[in-house]
Amino acid sequence: MMYPEAVKIKEIVDNSQKIVIIQADNPDGDSLGSALALEHILGDMGKEPILYCGVDMPSYLRYMQGWDRIVRDIPQQFDASIIVDASTTTLLEKLYDSGQQKWLASKPNIVLDHHATVDNVVPFASVMINDGTRASAGELIYMIARQLDWKVSVQAQEFLMTSILGDTQGLTNQLASAETYRIMAEFVENGVDRPHLEDIRREYSKMPTQIFRYKGDLIQRAEFAADGALATVTIPQKEINEYSPLYNPAPLIQNDLLQTLGVRVAIVFKSYADGKITAAIRANSSAPVAAKLAEHFGGGGHTYASGFKITDGRPFNEVKSECLRTATELLAKLEEGNTHEDPQHAHATT
């Protein structure tokens, strides 16, 4: 696929020297991998890339070399900015709280995302590509770089591979297309060592003893609904304060929830003392409902990984009940659709 917007992207990059690369306030493997890959791509072009994120990088992502170059403040002097893996202001709360979005709005801004439909789209974007057919923002960046004949070093390809592996859950969900596999093959042919990437990821993902014991507590507290198809865990403010600096509770437990027999959707709620509520949603390949569930609450994401945030003061139990009810309805509609397709499929094969 050729992107007509790439012409504008090239113009902005060609006319800029200092370029800020921005991640959302919920960094993950895709956003960090995409940011670090862009840093290398722009650096090889003679540009001066600056990495920004409004929050500290989670410890489980620090296996990616270069995470420590990320700053918490937008520099006063820069020529353009690129937002990766986010196209909504909802995920840039730290920027808006500090007023730094005004600086971005005064310069050319590029948004590169793959979450298809989102609310509160970044209003100051000079050019935006939000391609929901891409497995990750990293895959999108690679396609744009290839279209513009930008050099993508082996180091940059390593980060792009990491971004793809992150959002496709190791190439196990439906986000990975045939083209995704072809791109991964290109990376391997060019010298990217996937087993090595997995080794260092596993090494940095090792948890302290107290986190291991905490994971056991979370497993004990897991709740199941919709005949076992929904699994939830709730993290209160005290545990957010105590454990989040060491390991994000959501990825600590979410994959295990999805590995439980019958579970199709796993939701980790965080309940804050100020009334804020967040939900991290993950779905397995048989239940592509994560994005629709998040959108119901004004959030966003893709079909297998999404999230939302509530700040209107609604009681936690009310939000949780509505989330479970909505998720149950979405799963029922999914089953309805599958049931309707069965007779047609049977007719076609007789």
Q: Confidence band (pLDDT; 50, 70, 90) for 278? A: very high
249 and 138 fall within a common domain: no
Confidence class of residue 41 from pLDDT cuts 50, 70 and 90? very high
Tokens 């390593």 sit at which residue?
A: 158
CATH number of the domain enclosing 85: 3.90.1640.10
**What average pLDDT does this structure show over 95-106?**
91
Given 202, 219, 254, the domain boundary residue is 202
Question: What is the structure's pLDDT at 220?
Answer: 97
Q: What is the mean pLDDT of the chain?
A: 91
Residues whose CB is less than 8 angstroms from the CB of residue 7 and which lie 6 or more positions away in sequence, other chains included: none
Q: Which of 202, 223, 241 is the last residue in one of the domains?
A: 202
Asked if residue 15 and residue 141 are part of one domain, the reply reads yes
Domain count, the chain: 2
**What is d(CA 285, CA 261) in angstroms, rounded to the nearest whole number?**
14
Residue 203: predicted pLDDT: 82
Give residue 17's pLDDT. 98
Does residue 116 surpass a pLDDT of 80? no
Are residues 188 and 164 in contact, defined by beta-carbon separation less than 8 angstroms? Answer: no
Question: What domain range is 255 assigned to?
Answer: 209-341
Residues 256 and 125 placed together within one structural domain of the fold: no
Give pLDDT tens digits for 118-151: 778 899 999 999 998 999 999 999 999 999 999 9
Is the per-residue pLDDT at 237 higher than 60? yes
In a domain, 346, yes or no: no
Does 348 map to a domain?
Answer: no
> If you count them, how many residues does the chain have?
350
Specify if 149 maps to a domain. yes
Q: Is residue 126 part of a domain?
A: yes
Q: What is the pTM of this model?
A: 0.81
**pLDDT reported for residue 214:** 97
Structure tokens at 254: 């979410």
